[in-house]
Structure 1
Amino acid sequence: MIRVLFVCLGNICRSPMAEAVFRHQVKEAGLEDVISIDSAGTGDWHIGHPPHQGTRDILDRYQIGYDGLKARQVRPDDFYHFTYIIAMDDSNVVNLDAFAPEFVENEQHASIHKLLDFSSNQAITEVPDPYYTGKFQEVYEMVEESCSRLLAYIVDQHELTK
């Protein structure tokens, strides 16, 4: 099983949007039996809360389900449980270091990337936080395109067949 964890600050806007979009894409590709998806935040302010209303509105607009999504915080064991940890911005990558356990040489653990590492627009490297900007549509477009390219990357890296 390939496991993907999307990470943002509070786990109510960007990372649950990415989780829902990626789940949708994985299901459409018929790969839900080989790819597992989750999301988490580096902060603990919203633990147990559903996605932000702006995230729910944009997902509703595109008919992408988000039932059961609840905010949680990153845990040290996530680094062993997941194949990929996908952060939304540089500060999330830095914050992930606080959760990362000490790795033993040759020990299997998640590879960490930023979502926009998979974007075709290399001029923008971070997904802006719509909690502060209100630009949920702009974030959705970044997430949708980058998740599609992430899926293609995973399919290629793991030689999956659709």
Structure 2
Amino acid sequence: MVKILFVCLGNICRSPMAEAIMRHLIQNEGLEGKVTVDSAGTGSWHIGKPPHEGTRSILDRYRISYEGQKARKLMEEDLTSFDYIIGMDSENIGNIRRLAGFKQTGQIARLMDYVDDHPIADVPDPYYTDNFDEVYEMVQKGCENLLKEIKKIHNF
């Protein structure tokens, strides 16, 4: 089982969007039981809350389920129990690496590392920009490419 964890700051906008999109892609490709996905935030402000209304709205528009998603904080044990730990921006990656210290972890990368043709390396935080459409497009492309790579590496 390949395990993916998406990480952003508060776990209410970008990472739950990525989690929902990736679940949708996994289901569409019949990879349930081979790939699993979760999300977390580096901050604790929103623990237990559902995704942001902007995230819910755009996921509803594309008929992508976010049922049962609740914000949680990234924990040290996540770093060894997930194969891929995918941050939305360089600040998230820095926070993940600080938590990891010198311990062995899953592969840590930014989501946009999987998108060669995009001029922006960090997925902007729509909590501050309110641009959920741009973020959706970036996250969708990043998730598609990440899943392609996982399928190739793991022969799915």
TM range (shorter): over 0.9
Q: Which runs of 4+ in 1 moved over 4 A?
A: none
Separation in 1, partners of 2:62, 2:122: 23
One-letter amino acid of the counterpart of residue 127, structure 2: Y
* Distance (whole Å) between structure 2 residues aligned to residue 120 and residue 21 of structure 1: 19
Match among 131, 138, 143 for residue 127 of structure 2:
131
TM-score between both structures, scaled by the size of structure 1:
0.93
For 1:67, the equivalent position in structure 2 comes to: 67
One-letter amino acid of the structure 1 residue matched with residue 122 of structure 2: E
**Partner residue of 2:38?**
38
Match of 1:3 in 2: 3
CA deviation string 1:20-66 (max 9, x = no partner): 00000011000011101000000000000000000000000000000
Aligned residues of 1:76 and 1:101 also touching (Cα < 8 A): no
1:63-119: CA deviation from partner (whole Å, max 9, x where unpaired):
00000000000000011100000000000000112321542xxx5x30001000111
Aligned to 1:6, the other structure's residue is in SS state strand
Matches of 2:34 and 2:70, distance apart in 1: 22
Amino acid at match of 1:48: G
After superposition, where does 1:106-145 map in structure 2 within 5 Å? Answer: 109-145=105-141
TM-score (norm 2): 0.97
Percent identity over paired residues: 53
Other-structure match for 2:81: 81
Q: Which residue of 1 aligns with 2:15?
A: 15
The number of residues matched between the two structures is 156
Q: What is residue 99 of structure 1 aligned with on the other side?
A: 99
Q: CA deviation at 1:159?
A: 1.1
Q: Report if the CA contact (8 A) 1:16-1:39 is conserved.
A: yes
Cα RMSD after superposing both structures: 1.0
> Hey, what does 2:25 align to over in structure 1?
25
Q: Report the 3-state secondary structure (helix = DSSP H, G, I; strand = E; otherwise coil) of the residue aligned with 1:49.
A: coil
| Structure 2 runs not aligned, ≥5 long | none
Amino acid at match of 2:88: M
